[in-house]
Amino acid sequence: MQVHGFYVDEEINTISFDLIFDFEELEPEKVMEDIMQKLKKQFPKYDYNIILDTDFSD
């Protein structure tokens, strides 16, 4: 898994980024949800926009 395009907007308390998974990840949505829950717990003032992407470079 990789993170790409990480942006923080302090004015509107938003964090956006892409999560890039290879085809071997069987449950990317679950992994994304786990990451989002951990982020919300540690940084609760932010809203998160996470986009799932697939690594086509292999």
Residue 27: per-residue pLDDT: 86
Residue 55: per-residue pLDDT: 60
Residue 56: per-residue pLDDT: 59
* DSSP secondary structure code for residue 43 in this structure: S
Residue 28: per-residue pLDDT: 85
The domain limits of the chain are 2-54
Q: What is the pLDDT of residues 1-58, one digit of tens each?
A: 788 889 999 999 999 999 988 888 788 889 889 999 999 999 999 999 998 876 655 5
Is pTM, for the whole model, over 0.95?
Answer: no
Torsions phi, psi for 47 (to 5 deg)? -100, 150
Residue 13: per-residue pLDDT: 97
If DSSP codes are grouped into helix, strand and coil, which group holds residue 36? helix
